[in-house]
Structure 1
Amino acid sequence: MNQPLPVTVLAGLPSVGKTTLLEHLLAHHAGTSIAVVRGRIDDLSNEISSAAAEARFNAIVVEASGTDDPQLIAESLVFDNDIAHLDTIVTVVDAESFSRDYASTDALSECGLASNEPSDEQNDRTIVEVLIAQIEFCDVIVINKTDLVDAETLAKLRRILHALNPRAELIDALHGAVAASELVNADRFDFDATSSAPGWLAMLNADPDAASESGDAYIIGFVYRARRPFHPERLWSLVHQEWPGVLRCKGFFWLATRSDIGGSLSQAGGALRHGPAGMWWAAQERSEWPTGDAELEAEIAADWYGEADDMTIGDRRQELAMIGTDLDESHWRAAFDACLVTDTEWSQASEGLLADPFPSWEMDDHDHDDHHDHDHGDDCDCGAHGH
């Protein structure tokens, strides 16, 4: 029986050099016969299956479009494991344009990169949101066009990319020259591991009591935690200020005026979104909690504040991971602390006396049933703005 073909996905913004890298792989594949697949995400499985059916290839490379999210590609690749398997996800970044792209607040539509489908919700994304999705969900990051930057700039870029995705292998490249063995049939992809690769997520999942020792004075990362709600107006003001040096901030938050629903916050470079993350467990009747899931029950217990039957705080909390360059951690902790309500304001919130400038949060059934998936997605359609 034939072995399932390994599938490598090449992701990256337009003009970063994906095609150049692909051409290099095709020209220097050391005896590996590679099929190239391109197309819309929802057509890729069929295209891959068709290529595999020709029985003349022993590897497949998917060249994604410049705005494709590799996680959506991975989730869409549904085929018989006897035919093919996802082997490696590669993101190509441009060493020279990275800092400019990461600081951009431009939407895809403003850059002529929106799809032709007016109903495509992905068109609402910004350049940096596409870039961070590509960086955080991959196994290898190829830093291309290294000849266009000096050694110091390249070294800083490598440290930034490692902070954003500590799991990914970083490979420097000139004109897309990367050994095929690094990217094709490399056996790097694992959905759970790749999904858990982002630096912010690793920080949230780490032991809160463990000391953080990155060994890098240039890149600072910390998690802000609190068991008191934010004052909506003060938090609104903070998220609309400039955030110099902040590369990534993601997690969830608790507003004093919204004790049933937790908020999600996702910032990357010059763009920031906020919206609903789902219902807190403490806001739901115990009869509505899932049963028979020991792992989930342990997670709820670990997140709980106070006695098990005390719903006053429960799992409600602030938990925001922040990564940046030359960050003043004490400044940011003080800034978030200043957004916490006083005892008097907390009482006022319970009486409906606090102003709340945040947009309303629309919830669907999935949000009610599955709050704590710890994804706190970037796909909410409210509260997007640039710094």
Structure 2
Amino acid sequence: MSNSAQPSEGAGHRDRRTPVVVVAGLHGDPAGTVDRIAGALGAADGTVIVRHDLTELRQGIVRRTVHAAGEISESVHELAHGCVSCTLKADLLPLLCTLAARDSVQRIVLALDPAFEAEAVCVGIADIPVAGIVGRVDGPAARNVRVAAVLTAIDARTWPAAATGDETLEELGWAWADDDRTVAQLAVGQVDFADAVVVSGGADVDPLERARMGAVLSRLVPSAPVLWTESADALTPGAVDALLSLVPPDARRGRVFDAHAPLLRGRPPLGPEHGVQLMEFTARRPFHPERLHGALDMLFDGVVTARGRVWLATQPEEVVWLESAGGGLRIGGAGRWLAAMPADERTAADPERLAMAGLRWDERFGDRDISLVILVHDADPNEIREALHWALVDDAELLQVERSPHQVARWPDPFGDWHTDPCEPDEPRSAAAGDGRGIDTGDRARKEK
């Protein structure tokens, strides 16, 4: 399931849209791996490399560089709002459409500034209308380009600490306006969205730590091929092209999965490896909100990431989405349970969601349940499971949930105040919404230092 799927090639039909390869990486990449990958891809005839430098975005300035046919063109653009979304809409998406119209352009490589998230770019390509280009009918850039692959570059020497820490982007001077994400949320999100991963600096890491990092990657992105290289200087056009050839046909390629898509995709290994383990937690009764709030500390230390659907006793209509990375946590609304919908709305829901819900439908609570996956690297899965079980309502409380939902709704609820994401309707949003709008960032937390 996807709320941002791009048109696919049908049987006997050749997709004539210009392929786009998106290359992402963290701030402060010591190896310059993003630029190395882009340069390797740019060696092929007909490939254009586009890079936006957003370091002066706060001053309303964006510097754009385009490498094409051995020539480099640079331009400076002023953006009155000085925001990443405005850059995406005002410059990047129209540029993609313009380049795609040129016969000489066979492929476009986007070497993303770290302020650009690959997910937001892909959502923008699929959903945001592009208007005002002469000779082109207004509509999303996906009419002209397709995401062929998303490559994420990481450094073996720095990524594990970044993915499990609790520093914010603001603390490191990497944040833009109203951006309260942690570095871990960015580091984990970039890898989770990747179709392939390039890891540099592997020779400088202890073999056991390298093995542990490999175990994390095989569970976070099990179907993504991983290229380990001693240094970014060793990246050649042949090596990068070979990596792209290993991307499986069913790779996401920019698709954004909603809150009701399977949480375990790509058949990741579930057994422990070097202390790394992917565990599932499921329940057919809701969490008590105050006890869940207390149990969330277990998702910070020793956990790379946790995500999934939550049923709160005090919010019987709302699907709650939980997503953590390192010391950062995001919780928000992701639409309604099918059981809370009127019949006409329910029948119009995604067929796959309806089919999966039918397999586990409960006469009292319908499709309401809890489903979480948690990737641990230095924590005891049994302790996490015990803490989450403790947070569930007991039998007496479950009876109240069934018979007195109005009274249960008055229980203290630390998760009760969602706020609306300020993005405009056509701006890129977060990934996990059941209603296609993105989850509201209603509660963000950090591990206490």
TM-score of the two chains, using structure 1 as the length reference = 0.80
* Aligned-pair CA distance for 1:108: 2.3
Secondary structure in structure 2 of the residue aligned to 1:91: strand
Task: Show the counterpart of 1:41.
Answer: 88
Task: Show the counterpart of 1:384.
Answer: 444
Identify if the C-alpha distance between structure 1 residues 289 and 333 changes in structure 2 by more than 3 Å, giving closer, same or farther. Answer: same
Identify if the C-alpha distance between structure 1 residues 315 and 379 changes in structure 2 by more than 3 Å, giving closer, same or farther. Answer: closer
* Aligned-pair CA distance for 1:242: 6.4
Task: Show the counterpart of 1:297.
Answer: 354
Distance 1:3 1:258 in 2: 47
The reply to whether residue 66 of structure 1 matches residue 114 of structure 2 is yes
The reply to whether residue 98 of structure 1 matches residue 159 of structure 2 is yes
Secondary structure in structure 2 of the residue aligned to 1:47: helix
* Aligned-pair CA distance for 1:164: 0.9
Out of 10, 35, 38, the position equivalent to 1:22 is 35
Secondary structure in structure 2 of the residue aligned to 1:259: coil
Distance 2:46 2:153 in 1: 22
Task: Show the counterpart of 1:193.
Answer: 252
- Matches for 1:1-387 after TM superposition, within 5 Å: 4-16=17-29, 19-23=32-36, 26=39, 31-39=44-52, 40-42=87-89, 43-53=91-101, 55-77=103-125, 78-79=140-141, 84-115=145-176, 118=177, 123-173=179-229, 174-183=231-240, 186=244, 188=247, 193-194=252-253, 195=255, 203-204=263-264, 213-214=270-271, 216=273, 218-240=275-297, 243-291=300-348, 294-305=351-362, 310=363, 312-348=364-400, 350=404, 351-352=407-408, 354-361=411-418, 379-387=439-447
Distance 1:144 1:154 in 2: 11
Alpha-carbon contact 2:321-2:439 (below 8 Å) kept: no
* Aligned-pair CA distance for 1:385: 0.9
Over the matched positions of the two proteins, sequence identity in percent amounts to: 26
Alpha-carbon contact 1:264-1:377 (below 8 Å) kept: no
* Aligned-pair CA distance for 1:248: 1.3
Q: Which amino acid aligns with 2:200?
A: N
* Aligned-pair CA distance for 1:288: 3.2
Identify if the C-alpha distance between structure 1 residues 50 and 267 changes in structure 2 by more than 3 Å, giving closer, same or farther. Answer: same
* Aligned-pair CA distance for 1:313: 1.2
Identify if the C-alpha distance between structure 1 residues 376 and 325 changes in structure 2 by more than 3 Å, giving closer, same or farther. Answer: farther
Distance 1:337 1:172 in 2: 39
Distance 2:280 2:15 in 1: 48
Identify if the C-alpha distance between structure 1 residues 219 and 44 changes in structure 2 by more than 3 Å, giving closer, same or farther. Answer: same
* Aligned-pair CA distance for 1:38: 1.8
* Aligned-pair CA distance for 1:277: 2.3
Alpha-carbon contact 1:136-1:197 (below 8 Å) kept: no
Q: Which amino acid aligns with 2:440?
A: C
* Aligned-pair CA distance for 1:295: 3.5
Task: Show the counterpart of 1:369.
Answer: none
Alpha-carbon contact 2:270-2:278 (below 8 Å) kept: no
Secondary structure in structure 2 of the residue aligned to 1:336: helix
* Aligned-pair CA distance for 1:85: 3.3
* Aligned-pair CA distance for 1:337: 1.1
Q: Which amino acid aligns with 2:201?
A: K
Distance 1:313 1:296 in 2: 16
Distance 1:279 1:250 in 2: 18
Secondary structure in structure 1 of the residue aligned to 2:141: coil
Alpha-carbon contact 1:143-1:170 (below 8 Å) kept: yes
> What residue ranges of structure 1 are gaps of 5+ in the alignment?
367-371
Secondary structure in structure 2 of the residue aligned to 1:384: strand
Secondary structure in structure 2 of the residue aligned to 1:315: coil
Identify if the C-alpha distance between structure 1 residues 287 and 56 changes in structure 2 by more than 3 Å, giving closer, same or farther. Answer: closer
* Aligned-pair CA distance for 1:220: 1.2
Task: Show the counterpart of 2:78.
Answer: none
Distance 1:213 1:20 in 2: 31
Q: Which amino acid aligns with 1:108?
A: L
* Aligned-pair CA distance for 1:134: 0.8
Secondary structure in structure 2 of the residue aligned to 1:110: coil
Q: Which amino acid aligns with 2:141?
A: F
Secondary structure in structure 1 of the residue aligned to 2:213: helix
Identify if the C-alpha distance between structure 1 residues 147 and 356 changes in structure 2 by more than 3 Å, giving closer, same or farther. Answer: same
* Aligned-pair CA distance for 1:355: 2.6
Q: Which amino acid aligns with 1:26?
A: G
Q: Which amino acid aligns with 2:444?
A: A
Alpha-carbon contact 2:33-2:200 (below 8 Å) kept: no
Q: Which amino acid aligns with 1:45?
A: L
Secondary structure in structure 2 of the residue aligned to 1:338: helix
Secondary structure in structure 1 of the residue aligned to 2:170: helix
- Cα RMSD of the aligned pairs, angstroms, is 3.7
Alpha-carbon contact 1:167-1:197 (below 8 Å) kept: no
Distance 2:391 2:309 in 1: 14
Alpha-carbon contact 2:333-2:418 (below 8 Å) kept: yes
Alpha-carbon contact 2:307-2:374 (below 8 Å) kept: yes
